[in-house]
């Protein structure tokens, strides 16, 4: 409480002194002019306006990636290129398929982006938003119009997550013609073939967009073949200027071979090698939504949206430590049986949001609010004894105590939430936006698990109600720059896996607490020199309390709250369009950008009762796992008529992979420091006749050997190499 009050006081002072905003009483606000200016340019990095739809973004740190003008390799969803201008973003790059996106900010874990509230067109697409928030699905980049990122301050409008909100915005049509078509075909290294085909258009009040995407490759590493297919359709009908109805449905399915981890010696000898050829992974995914928008006046708008996710997570493989070879068992004359794990997700929700602009203190302010109801059911079946074969096969070969799986659990989540924010336009330049969010969360668990004497796990239920507070401010400096400040509380319920014992001897603290904390920002952003210079430079602080971990208590694994951590640092982005300052060279473009972040992420409290009497063993002051201290991404872009090329450099400093900050790797290669690395990418594009496009590129130009993570379980214990040098060539058209 003391931390909350002191930070709220600090932000309040900053709000009155440096806060910022635009004069929303005008028909065209300063920020609206700025955003329109950027949208009309070739920039691929934008900012959200103060108000968009029913949402308020004044005073919130955010980025918008405009995919249509991005120079990134879209054929494989190359994250380090797509997000290259987002400062402070750490990325896991252990899978060159681009099927999943693993990103994080401010020292959080990039594991399938689980610290973000991941959405597509404003609706949840992760496995289960509270109990298992991992995002196994990411849409193909060719289908996207833009990607919106709102940092931790997004907790009030979208949920309590520490990371904030990540929203994939797909295309809705292909112009005003009744029928338009776009197609892109890509070939590349290691038998890469990527095919994207879409049709869309507008017929009077009706607009539509549908695409079919397929990608397959053998993969850079041995045993890393994959094939993926995604199909989607969206439709919108404008009944009148006041009423609009839209609906969308997406289906994705893939099968991916998991090459598994390596020991550090294997990684040094040949990072492309693999000793696991029988490991497979698949996640059939269905997501859909229906939204009704009502705009009774120019100052008021309401939306009601229903959405759902019906999906699976399936894996089969030999998941022993890398020190145990997956070889034929001479006693049975075949390979050992593989482990089968399966999840089934059925999640549904409805959100009602509204916004109203009103006059106060001689200026136009706005109030936004909403309510949300969500229900999620996860059926988890783990530790099944599967086949001895090598193909993707989820069949169960033998029973365990009359059960197919060693664990067969049902997890349920019921969630009711409400939020409200009010953007007060205090002066033509200053806005202050306080907000509040209420979360009511109920989790249940029951089923069978072979870690207890009877195997039966009686129904358990955890109920809690949480109130989150926040305040943001924005002060306009000139026409195209502002100072922003924001503070928002964050919250993370205990996940399903943290509530489930991993072994018979494991004990879970009955008083296990949910994680809680806050995000705080202060920065300066905008554009100068007639929009030739764009920048966003700020400082941040993220406090994460009640971190969950496993300690040894009386020589028994004990899962409990192990302490707290604090991340703080600098996030900066600057881009200079050199030729924009020399309009006489209208056909030539030359720009350079730099994105640098410094993150000091450390444990500030360590609650392990086994170590309290030995200060030499405490983790206080240790760095947080998977949190690089320095990240630099910089690039040079050259454009002439229809040709453009971008040379990009990435540097990421060393990271620790365990809380003890171990330097040397352990025997199973699941812990140990990962060294710093640097990567250079080159991409080129040529467009002509307004219809045709050629794209080509070399990823990891210098063939850098690097790794961004170690795994303790899936996709295979050990060090996971990043992808070496690859090539691609894309031919596209749109008419």
Q: Is 454 exposed, middle or buried (0-12, 13-18, 19+ CB in 10 A)?
A: exposed
Burial of 265 (0-12, 13-18, 19+ CB in 10 A): exposed
Give pTM, 2 decimals: 0.92
For residues 373-402, give the mean pLDDT: 93
* pLDDT, position 523: 97
Q: What is the pLDDT of residue 189?
A: 97
Question: In 47-129, where does DSSP find H-type helix?
Answer: 79-82
Which of the four pLDDT bands, split at 50, 70 and 90, describes residue 90? very high
Report whether pLDDT(580) > 80: yes
> pLDDT grade, residue 27 (50/70/90)?
very low
CA distance 702 to 684: 17
Contact 248, 121 (CB under 8 A): yes
Q: CA distances (Å), 21 to each of 12, 35, 39, 79, 471, in order?
A: 15, 14, 20, 32, 14
Distance CA 127, CA 313 (A): 9
Q: What angle do CA 129, 114, 246 make, to 5 degrees?
A: 50
Q: pLDDT digits over 683-701, tens only? A: 999 999 989 999 999 999 9
Q: What pLDDT shows up at residue 650?
A: 97
- Give the model's pLDDT for residue 499: 79
Averaged confidence pLDDT in the chain: 89
Rounded Cα–Cα distance for residues 388 and 328 (Å): 9
105-120: per-residue pLDDT in tens? 999 999 999 999 999 9
pLDDT at 353 over 90: yes
CA distance readout (Å), 226 to 73, 223, 231, 271, 427:
18, 9, 17, 19, 56
pLDDT band, very low/low/confident/very high, at 656 (cuts 50, 70, 90)? very high
Query: Lowest-pLDDT range, 178-187, 421-430, 512-521, 708-717?
Result: 708-717
Span 364-369, mean pLDDT?
Answer: 96
Please tell me the predicted confidence (pLDDT) of residue 96: 87
pLDDT in tens, 622-642: 999 999 999 999 999 999 989
Q: Which of 262-276, 300-314, 606-620 has the lowest mean pLDDT?
A: 606-620
Residue 336 per-residue DSSP state = P
Q: What does the pLDDT read at residue 616? A: 62
pLDDT classification of 57: cutoffs 50, 70, 90: very high
Residue 332's pLDDT is 80
Please give the pLDDT value at position 8: 37
- Averaged pLDDT for residues 535-559: 84
pLDDT band at 83 (very low <50, low <70, confident <90, very high): very high
User: In angstroms, rounded to a whole number, what is the distance separating the alpha carbons of residues 608 and 563?
Assistant: 8
Q: pLDDT tens digits, residue range 247-302?
A: 999 999 999 999 999 999 999 999 999 999 999 999 999 999 999 999 999 999 99
By mean pLDDT, which of 144-158, 369-383, 668-682 is the weakest?
144-158
Question: What does the pLDDT average to over 631-656?
Answer: 96
Query: Bridge partners of 697?
Result: 683, 728
Q: Is the pLDDT of residue 507 over 80?
A: no
Bridge partners of 352, per DSSP, are 304, 371
CATH code at position 469: 2.40.170.20
Domain count across the chain: 1
Q: How far, in Å, CA of 146 to CA of 52, rounded?
A: 14
Residue 308: name the closest of 510, 125, 163 by CA.
Answer: 125
Q: Which residue has the tokens 């070889």?
A: 327
Angle 444-449-455 from CA coordinates, rounded to 5° = 110
Note if the bond before 122 is cis, omega within 30 degrees.
no
Q: What is the mean pLDDT of residues 564-592?
A: 90
Residue 146 sits in which domain range?
2-734
- Alpha-carbon distance of 4 to 545, in angstroms, equals 13
């Amino acid at each position: 409480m003391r931390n909350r009050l002191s930070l709220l006081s600090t932000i309040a002072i900053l709000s009155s002194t440096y806060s910022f905003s635009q004069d929303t009483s005008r028909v065209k606000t300063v920020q609206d002019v700025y955003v329109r200016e950027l949208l009309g340019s070739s920039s691929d990095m934008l900012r959200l306006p103060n108000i968009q739809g029913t949402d308020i973004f004044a005073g919130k740190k955010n980025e918008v990636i405009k995919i249509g003008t991005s120079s990134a390799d879209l054929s494989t969803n190359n994250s380090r290129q797509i997000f290259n201008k987002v400062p402070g973003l750490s990325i896991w790059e252990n899978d060159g398929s681009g099927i999943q996106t693993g990103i994080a900010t401010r020292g959080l874990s990039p594991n399938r982006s689980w610290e973000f509230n991941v959405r597509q067109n404003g609706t949840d697409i992760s496995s289960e938003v509270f109990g298992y928030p991992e995002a196994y699905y990411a849409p193909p980049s060719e289908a996207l119009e833009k990607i919106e990122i709102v940092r931790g301050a997004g907790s009030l409008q979208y949920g309590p997550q520490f990371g904030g909100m990540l929203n994939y915005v797909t295309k809705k049509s292909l112009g005003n013609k009744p029928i338009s078509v776009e197609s892109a075909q890509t070939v590349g290294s290691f038998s890469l073939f990527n095919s994207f085909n879409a049709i869309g258009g507008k017929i009077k009040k009706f607009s539509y967009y549908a695409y079919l995407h397929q990608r397959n490759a053998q993969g850079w590493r041995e045993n890393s073949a994959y094939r993926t297919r995604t199909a989607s359709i969206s439709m919108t009908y404008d009944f009148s200027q006041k009423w609009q109805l839209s609906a969308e449905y997406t289906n994705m399915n893939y099968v991916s071979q998991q090459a598994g981890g390596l020991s550090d010696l294997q990684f040094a000898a040949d990072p492309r090698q693999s000793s696991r050829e029988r490991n497979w992974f698949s996640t059939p995914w269905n997501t859909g939504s229906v939204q009704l928008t009502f705009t009774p006046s120019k100052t008021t708008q309401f939306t009601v949206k229903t959405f759902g996710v019906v999906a699976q997570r399936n894996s089969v493989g030999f998941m022993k430590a890398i020190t145990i070879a997956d070889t034929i068992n001479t006693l049975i004359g075949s390979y050992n049986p593989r482990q089968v794990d399966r999840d089934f997700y059925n999640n549904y929700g409805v959100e009602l949001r509204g916004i109203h602009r009103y006059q106060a203190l001689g200026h136009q302010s706005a109030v936004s609010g909403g309510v949300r109801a969500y229900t999620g059911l996860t059926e988890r079946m783990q530790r099944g004894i599967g086949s001895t074969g090598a193909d993707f096969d989820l069949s169960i070969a033998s029973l365990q105590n009359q059960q197919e799986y060693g664990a067969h659990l049902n997890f349920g989540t019921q969630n009711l939430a409400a939020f409200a924010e009010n953007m007060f336009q205090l002066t033509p330049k200053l806005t202050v936006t306080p907000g509040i969010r209420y979360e009511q969360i109920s989790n249940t668990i029951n089923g069978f698990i072979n870690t207890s004497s009877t195997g039966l796990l009686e129904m358990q239920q955890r109920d809690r109600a949480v109130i989150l507070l926040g305040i943001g401010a924005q002060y306009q400096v000139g026409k195209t720059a502002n100072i922003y400040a924001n503070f928002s509380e964050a919250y993370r319920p205990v996940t399903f896996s943290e509530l489930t014992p991993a072994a018979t001897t494991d004990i879970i603290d009955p008083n296990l607490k949910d994680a809680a904390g806050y995000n705080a920002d202060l920065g300066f952003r905008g554009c100068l020199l007639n929009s030739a210079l764009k920048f966003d430079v700020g400082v941040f602080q993220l406090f994460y309390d009640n971190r969950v971990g496993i300690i040894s208590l009386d020589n028994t694994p004990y899962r409990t709250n192990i302490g707290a951590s604090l991340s703080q640092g600098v996030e900066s982005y600057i881009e200079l369009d050199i030729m924009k300052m020399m309009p006489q060279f209208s056909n030539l473009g030359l720009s350079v950008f730099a994105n640098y972040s410094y993150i000091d992420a450390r444990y500030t409290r360590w609650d392990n009762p086994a170590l309290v009497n030995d200060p030499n063993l405490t983790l206080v002051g240790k760095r947080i796992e998977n949190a690089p201290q320095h990240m630099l991404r910089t690039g040079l872009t050259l454009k002439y008529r229809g040709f453009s090329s971008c040379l990009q450099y990435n540097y990421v400093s060393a990271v620790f992979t365990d809380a003890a900050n171990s330097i040397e790797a352990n025997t199973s290669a699941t812990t140990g420091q990962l060294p710093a690395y640097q990567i250079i990418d080159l991409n080129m594009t040529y467009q002509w006749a307004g219809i045709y496009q050629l794209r080509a590129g070399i990823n990891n130009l210098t063939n850098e050997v690097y790794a961004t993570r170690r795994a303790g379980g899936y996709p295979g214990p050990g060090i996971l190499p990043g992808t070496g040098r690859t090539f691609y060539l894309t031919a596209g058209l749109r008419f």
